[in-house]
Amino acid sequence: MKKLHFSLVGLLVFCSFTVSAQHSGSTKMDNFVNALMKKMTVDEKIGQLNLVTPGGAVTGSVVSKDVDTKIRNGQVGGLFGITGPDKIHRAQEIAVNNSRLHIPLIFGLDVIHGHRTIFPIPLGLSASWDTSLIRKSARIAANEATADALNWVFSPMVDIARDPRWGRVSEGSGEDPFLGSEIAKAMVEGYQGNDLAKNTTVMACVKHYALYGAAEAGREYNTVDMSKVKMYNEYLAPYKAAVDAGVGSVMSSFNTVNGVPATANKFLMTDVLRKQWGFKGLVVTDYTAVNELVNHGIGDLQTVSAKALNAGIDMDMVGEGFLTTLKKSLQQGKVTQKGIDDACRRVLEAKYKLGLFDDPYRYCNNEREKTELMSDANLKAAREIAARSFVLLKNNNQVLPLKKSGTIALIGPLADNKRNMLGTWSVSGDPEKSVTIIQGIKNVVGNDVNILYAKGANISDDTALIKRVNVFGTEIDVDQKSPEEMISDAVATANKADVVVAVLGEAADMTGESSSMSEIGLQPSQENLLRALVKTGKPVVLVLMNGRPMTLTWEDEHVTAILDIWFGGTEVGNAVADVLFGNYNPSGKITASFPRNVGQIPVYYNHLNTGRPYVPGEGTKFKSDYLDVPNTPLYPFGYGLSYTSFSYSDITLNSKTLKPGGKITASVNVTNTGTRSGKETVQLYTRQMIGSISRPVKELKGFQQITLEPGETRKVTFPISVDDLKFYNSDLKYVYEPGAFKVFIGTSSADVKEADFNLVR
């Protein structure tokens, strides 16, 4: 632990905080914050609303300037983008020793899927469908973040995304509100634990509120226009789940919602968030989102800053609209003293809950930094969690798992590539410490298997795209050999092997923020390679690295097996080898549908019926369908194979009548019909057949994971109560409606058994 260095005056004032802030509890906190706020000038209060970055986490065109001076002047409430006990201690000292009221700073960062030890990207994590594992990943991330002196993380990102063109689909949990809500809750619990003041817990920040994932055409930062019924039933649920789980902060999104930018949207920030959901924590904007309201066309900087505060925003990230204009707006009556006080209070309360008034350096601990970052235990967890995120999309002739003998041709620009293993938003991860696929395979079977390698292609040959993707460093490097030479080397290598493992896909920053794509298939360079490999007649296993659902129609038809490994994080290579060679049986299931082509987007399982529903395979005129492609996705929500197989019995209902206050149960027997032990995620869906408004054809309502030995059968039972069947009607009332329902249980949203029951009054 670092020694405390207070100036004398700082120490005196600070001691008085320490006495009153020792124990948390709302009355104590209120008294403490009230007393502090009495001492504060308007400028100091506005200063608390200013969140700056000294340049370490730039996600916009503006960087904060004169940070030290501003801290001294009491013009900064928090800092993000720096890490490490020494640096953070130094910055905290400026605030605690040199600002008039010695108010400590809060320190945040984008800790998204791990901090130094990187886990799979969130879309991959969600494919594990294992909320305790996801909670564990957040817990480890919090441990590491706090060992690096942070106390605030800008996660979880819970935006429902049904458009894989949008690069940030990688950062969330896919298309489903129920699963998204379960994961949101798990992450908040993992980060925050049960006591924010512990030096191993961090304040979480659920983002991006709201509906950021519904950007038109999947184009980054684009407009969102959505009915309130859809909003309440499908998109708001995961944010609410995070709030219900006690998340300490919320980040506003960049997009407009029904014409009003979220960051100035009183309906979202106050009516829904605070009044309907009872959120008491801190609301921060996204990066320069206040300033961007000017571009949204709702006023000049002073006007938009006032609008954001009045809407319910507390803290302004980087843009300093609040810092530079709120006082003037107060004098002109455009904001109220209460508005500023409320916002300031929430910032101070966050600091209080984090225990910063008791000890501003409580997160600065050099010992922990040394022992906890990337510890063996964390790396071990990362390996297991990565393996759990992988999804087996295809496995013809049981080509996987591979034999631990013979010769494999390991081909592809991502096979021996440290730079891209961690995926987007791994700001504190060190790519150099990641285990590549080739290294992992050597680690696991290097003594038994002859491994031949060829790069085969560049990730892309498109120079304009390469330039855009490489802004943070060379993720796509262009080989000195021509594409033709690379392919012919790869083919020659493949011809010498028993099986080809092609590691292809996206570069890390082809998804994530500002990474929308209009085509979401493999880059032509890699497609040409894959076609050439398939032509050799060798079995081809495609190991796909991707941050979004991709269009894989050709691949699905032609390669022998596809293992989707997302961006698996620090230990990805070891985890891939564990799965390829059968030390681990894959069990992931996709959480966002994979379209057959871009024209199908958005394609998601929980859609409404139409008046002229499509009948698979029928192809008659006047139905809601396409002439050239089926309505169904290539791989549906909830889909994923295993090295073993499972069969489902019909559903047994203990009653066909559900009464308010009561519950019924739906059960199936699941049997492992294959030859290996395997994990299955059994999924429960319902459909309300008749309602006051049109209701989705299926909605996920539960899931359970079971591990079965070969030949073993297990009964899986789901309770169903009226609460599970509630929804928001056209008056936005959360109701249930009596009538006929269907219940479905199965292995994916598209492969289920079904039964009927009635909900009666």
In angstroms, what is the minimal distance from the CB of 71 to ligand NOJ? 19
Residues making up the chain, counted from first to last: 761
| Active site (annotated) includes residue 286 | yes
In angstroms, what is the minimal distance from the CB of 419 to ligand NOJ? 21
Which residue from 49, 643, 701, 586 is spatially nearest to 326, judged by alpha carbons?
Answer: 49
- Based on CB atoms, which residue is closest to ligand NOJ, 78 or 636? 78
Hey, how many other C-beta atoms are within 10 angstroms of the C-beta on 316? 29
In angstroms, what is the minimal distance from the CB of 168 to ligand NOJ? 8
Q: Which of 110, 148, 286, 359 is catalytic?
A: 286
In angstroms, what is the minimal distance from the CB of 740 to ligand NOJ? 43
Q: Is the peptide bond before 602 cis (omega within 30 degrees of 0)?
A: yes
- Based on CB atoms, which residue is closest to ligand NOJ, 63 or 629? 63
Lookup: tokens for 167: 């690069």
- Based on CB atoms, which residue is closest to ligand NOJ, 287 or 361? 287
Of the chain, the end-to-end C-alpha distance in Å amounts to 62
Lookup: tokens for 369: 């930094």
Which residue has tokens 């960049």?
Answer: 254
Radius of gyration for the chain, computed over Cα atoms and rounded to the nearest angstrom: 27
In angstroms, what is the minimal distance from the CB of 538 to ligand NOJ? 43
In angstroms, what is the minimal distance from the CB of 14 to ligand NOJ? 30
Beta bridge partners of 653: 666
In angstroms, what is the minimal distance from the CB of 240 to ligand NOJ? 19
Which residue has tokens 């109560």?
Answer: 721
Between CA 98 and CA 102 the distance in angstroms is 7
- Based on CB atoms, which residue is closest to ligand NOJ, 154 or 567? 154
In angstroms, what is the minimal distance from the CB of 319 to ligand NOJ? 12
15 by Cβ neighbours in 10 Å (0-12 / 13-18 / 19+) ranks as exposed
Vertex 551: Cα angle to 548 and 555 (nearest 5): 120
Q: Is the peptide bond before 210 cis (omega within 30 degrees of 0)?
A: yes
In angstroms, what is the minimal distance from the CB of 220 to ligand NOJ? 9
Instruction: Please list, in sequence order, all residues whose beta carbon lies within 8 angstroms of the beta carbon of residue 309, skipping any fewer than 6 positions away.
Output: 49, 322, 326, 329, 335, 339, 340, 343
In angstroms, what is the minimal distance from the CB of 113 to ligand NOJ? 13
- Based on CB atoms, which residue is closest to ligand NOJ, 154 or 584? 154
Instruction: Please list, in sequence order, all residues whose beta carbon lies within 8 angstroms of the beta carbon of residue 472, skipping any fewer than 6 positions away.
Output: 509
Between CA 311 and CA 262 the distance in angstroms is 9
Would you say 119 and 183 are in contact if contact means Cβ atoms under 8 Å apart? no
In angstroms, what is the minimal distance from the CB of 11 to ligand NOJ? 34
The CA–CA distances, whole Å, from 200 to 1, 141, 639 equal 14, 10, 36
- Based on CB atoms, which residue is closest to ligand NOJ, 110 or 163? 110
Hey, how many other C-beta atoms are within 10 angstroms of the C-beta on 370? 11
Between CA 10 and CA 12 the distance in angstroms is 5
- Based on CB atoms, which residue is closest to ligand NOJ, 261 or 674? 261
Which residue has tokens 């996801």?
Answer: 134
In this structure, what is the dihedral angle of CA atoms 38, 40, 45, 50, given to the nearest 10 degrees? -140
Q: What 3-state DSSP class applies to 387?
A: helix
In this structure, what is the dihedral angle of CA atoms 471, 472, 478, 483, given to the nearest 10 degrees? -80
Beta bridge partners of 578: none
In angstroms, what is the minimal distance from the CB of 286 to ligand NOJ? 5
The CA–CA distances, whole Å, from 315 to 220, 297, 312, 581, 706 equal 23, 21, 10, 50, 44
Between CA 10 and CA 3 the distance in angstroms is 15
- Based on CB atoms, which residue is closest to ligand NOJ, 62 or 217? 62
- Based on CB atoms, which residue is closest to ligand NOJ, 207 or 334? 207
- Based on CB atoms, which residue is closest to ligand NOJ, 513 or 564? 513
What amino acid is encoded at 739 in this protein?
G
Q: Site residues (CB under 6 A) for ligand NOJ?
A: 57, 59, 110, 154, 207, 286-287, 513
Beta bridge partners of 95: none
Which residue from 667, 665, 643 is spatially nearest to 655, judged by alpha carbons?
Answer: 665
Vertex 426: Cα angle to 544 and 479 (nearest 5): 55
- Based on CB atoms, which residue is closest to ligand NOJ, 159 or 578? 159
- Based on CB atoms, which residue is closest to ligand NOJ, 288 or 688? 288
Would you say 573 and 437 are in contact if contact means Cβ atoms under 8 Å apart? yes
Instruction: Please list, in sequence order, all residues whose beta carbon lies within 8 angstroms of the beta carbon of residue 119, skipping any fewer than 6 positions away.
Output: 113, 125, 137, 140, 141, 382, 385, 386, 569, 570
Q: Is the peptide bond before 208 cis (omega within 30 degrees of 0)?
A: yes
What amino acid is encoded at 162 in this protein?
R
Q: Which residues are catalytic?
A: 286
